[in-house]
Amino acid sequence: MSFTSRWSDVYLSAGARAISGCGDFLAATALVLALQERGAGSGAVAAVMIAAAVPPVVLARWTGRLADRVDSRLLLVGAGLAQAAVCVALAYATDTGPIVALIALLGAGLALTQPTLGALLPAMVRPVDLARASAIGQTANSIGLLLAPIAGGVLVGQFGLRVPLLVDAASYLALVAAGLLIRTRRGTPAESADAAPAREFRLRTDTLLLAVFVLIGAVIAAVSAVNVGEVFLVRGELHSSATVYGLLSATWLGAMLIGAWLVTRRDLDDGTLGIALLVLLATSCLVVVGCAVVPAVGWLVPLFVIGGAGNGGENVAANVLIARRAHPDVRGRAYALYGAVTNGATVIGFVLGGAVLTVLPVRLTLAAAGGLALVIAAALAVPMLRAAAAARYERPERRATQATA
């Protein structure tokens, strides 16, 4: 029976992720501003950021299995309602301890919804449409992230902390709506009854995906370290305004849209897509190093355009490779592990960036972060190229099952 891509499901999924992601970023912006106004130290702000990022790392083993074995509709509706309730409680929390605990609960919900939606996408479209569908999701997510800091600042300024958090609670209802409206489903009772014996996702059996995960983790850690240091570079070293700093952040996010759609222009095989990803990741490392040596803030604009475009292309390429190379039965676990890598690398980058900045100048910190990531990329270039070359000659049935040994 022929299969036609369900584009309405793709747009529903992208919209739900964009709205809930925008709400999360809005709430994070509001919390940071509110904590700073209340006189909380940098430790409280760091605790909030880490509490949001750690659950997808430590819970990946279990949330991935749930995403593969439980009805996706039940997971999206249940998680959406639970996260909305947590946000309502967060709106009325006043002490730092309960706030951090509630943020961790929100992160646990994200650890479940991300692999659920990620594994659904390949089931919505034909393989030839997968890159385009991933780019649609990347576009919606980037737009949400662009709007969130602006909305967060305005709402906190006008209404205080409670209103932005209640808006975040309402944004989770988009996940509930998506769960009810998306026709594509995984893990239904009928599927479970007909399922083959449970598979395991073992990343080490797929050298191409293994290299991709390691490289992406290294680059995300470097970029996260830059995120810690860039405010000191822009405001301190280059003597620019807070407005310029905000515009630069928007430039990176906007350029991600360009990179996401560039990857979709050709239907690349796994090997070529892996090589393209290697080039994009190496370019991101060079951008980080370049940020360390700019003589004036204007030079950061083209660097942020290149870096953002590479970031968007990396996201789409990685999503397509995971969808193609992980067996359908274990895609939830594959995407959960990917989320663990990206979130874990973000935390490592934040911690190392903050620690190194206490002993090294900001420019040297950025150069060290980008240089280390570039060394890792160079070290993995040969095995990555070998894996990419081997991927070109794999039989389709081998490609579909190699990650499940």
| Mean pLDDT taken over the chain | 82
In the chain, what is the greatest distance between 2 CA atoms, to the nearest angstrom?
64
Amino acid at 13: S
Whether residue 402 is predicted with pLDDT greater than 70 in this model: the reply is no
> pLDDT digit string (tens) for 57-107?
999 989 999 999 899 999 999 999 999 999 999 888 878 888 888 888 988
> pLDDT digit string (tens) for 299-325?
999 999 998 898 888 888 999 999 888
Nearest to 14 by CA among 363, 319, 372, 400: 319
Terminal Cα-to-Cα distance of the chain (whole angstroms): 29
Whether residue 33 is predicted with pLDDT greater than 70 in this model: the reply is no
Instruction: List the single range of 32-46, 232-246, 306-320, 328-342 with lowest mean pLDDT.
Output: 32-46
| DSSP helix/strand/coil, 3 | coil
Instruction: List the single range of 30-44, 275-289, 313-327, 388-402 with lowest mean pLDDT.
Output: 388-402
For residues 325 and 399, is the Cβ–Cβ distance under 8 A? yes
Q: How many residues does the chain have?
A: 405
| Structural domains in the chain, sorted by start | 7-185 (1.20.1250.20), 203-392 (1.20.1250.20)
Whether residue 398 is predicted with pLDDT greater than 60 in this model: the reply is no
d(CA 387, CA 245): 40
Whether residue 7 is predicted with pLDDT greater than 80 in this model: the reply is yes
240 or 171, greater pLDDT:
171
In angstroms, the Cα distances linking 98 to 33, 193, 375 are 17, 42, 41
Is residue 116 very low, low, confident or very high in pLDDT (cuts 50, 70, 90)?
very high
Whether residue 4 is predicted with pLDDT greater than 60 in this model: the reply is yes
Structure tokens at 274: 């892996």
28 or 330, greater pLDDT:
330
Is residue 198 very low, low, confident or very high in pLDDT (cuts 50, 70, 90)?
low
Whether residue 2 is predicted with pLDDT greater than 70 in this model: the reply is no
pLDDT value of residue 399: 47
- HEC sequence for the chain: CCCCCCHHHHHHHHHHHHHHHHHHHHHHHHHHHHHHHCCCCHHHHHHHHHHHHHHHHHCHHHHHHHHHHCCHHHHHHHHHHHHHHHHHHHHCCCCHHHHHHHHHHHHHHHHHHHHHHHHHHHHHCCHHHHHHHHHHHHHHHHHHHHHHHHHHHHHHHHHCCHHHHHHHHHHCHHHHHHHHHCCCCCCCHHHHHHCCCCCCCCHHHCHHHHHHHHHHHHHHHHHHHHHHHHHHHHHHHCCCCHHHHHHHHHHHHHHHHHHHHHHHHCCCCHHHHHHHHHHHHHHHHHHHHHHCCCCCHHHHHHHHHHHHHHHHHHHHHHHHHHHHHCCHHHHHHHHHHHHHHHHHHHHHHHHHHHHHHCCCCHHHHHHHHHHHHHHHHHHHHHHHHHHHHHHCCCCHHHHHHHHHC
For residues 376 and 214, is the Cβ–Cβ distance under 8 A? yes
For residues 20 and 172, is the Cβ–Cβ distance under 8 A? yes
Q: Which spans in 2-129 are helix H?
A: 7-37, 42-58, 60-69, 72-91, 96-124
Structure tokens at 267: 């239907």
> pLDDT digit string (tens) for 223-256?
787 777 777 788 788 888 767 877 887 888 888 8
Exposure of 279 in the CB half-sphere (CA atoms within 13 A) = 13
What number of other Cβ atoms are within 10 A of residue 236's Cβ?
A: 12
